[in-house]
Amino acid sequence: MIILESVFEDLKERGVNDILYMSSDGIAGFKGSLEMVFPKAQSQRCVVHLVRNLYSICPKKEAKQIIADFKNIYTSITQEEANLMLEAFREKYKEQKRIVKKVEGFIQYLEPLFELPQEIRKCIYTSNAMESVNSALRKVTRGKGSFPSESSVFKILYLRIRELIEKWKRPIANWKKIQQQLMGIFRKRYAKYLDL
């Protein structure tokens, strides 16, 4: 937890004044460390990580259906609807107590999502954007043996990031509507960054 706290402190020292919302992979102590340094920040667990975690304990023959039924829970419009979907999930898989217990444990991580509009949720379900970058950088360095110098590693990483920038140029779907929603939720905390 101290290490995570120092990461957030470092972000603050480098000019990050506020974090509105953060999605993480469930690393121990993340939420507490984030809130210590950025007390107004909201956070949630990455839904994709929850799905992977659930998939790992599913019988392979039933995994696709179990994941689809879990998706009915986290894509619910409201908390009430999610509770109904959870109850249906419990009933359907009552013989698979381990799976039901896992999904029941995940509900606490999904609850913050139901406070947000659907368009925003789609943007923050996952922390995979960062993981995708890390994976792309690993691919260009893995199996290459040794590099002649430190600068050669930086060059290959720089070139790969230049390639990735093209992917990042695609706009987020419904961005204008999302901006209005963010303004409604975070008000001045969000508005002060619009001029950047």
Confidence (pLDDT) at 132: 74
Question: What span, in angstroms and rounded, lies between the C-alpha atoms of 51 and 67?
Answer: 7
Q: What percent of the chain has pLDDT over 70?
A: 94
Confidence (pLDDT) at 134: 76
Under the banding of pLDDT at 50, 70 and 90, the label for residue 195 is low
* DSSP for 144-158, written as a single string: ----S-HHHHHHHHH
Residue 29: is its pLDDT beyond 90? no
Confidence (pLDDT) at 62: 94
Confidence (pLDDT) at 128: 62
Q: Are 82 and 104 in contact (CB under 8 A)?
A: no
Say which residues have a Cβ less than 8 Å from residue 60's Cβ, sequence separation at least 6: none
Confidence (pLDDT) at 129: 67
Q: What percent of the chain has pLDDT over 90?
A: 40
Residue in 44, 123, 114 with CA at minimum distance from that of residue 81? 114
Under the banding of pLDDT at 50, 70 and 90, the label for residue 2 is low
Confidence (pLDDT) at 141: 82
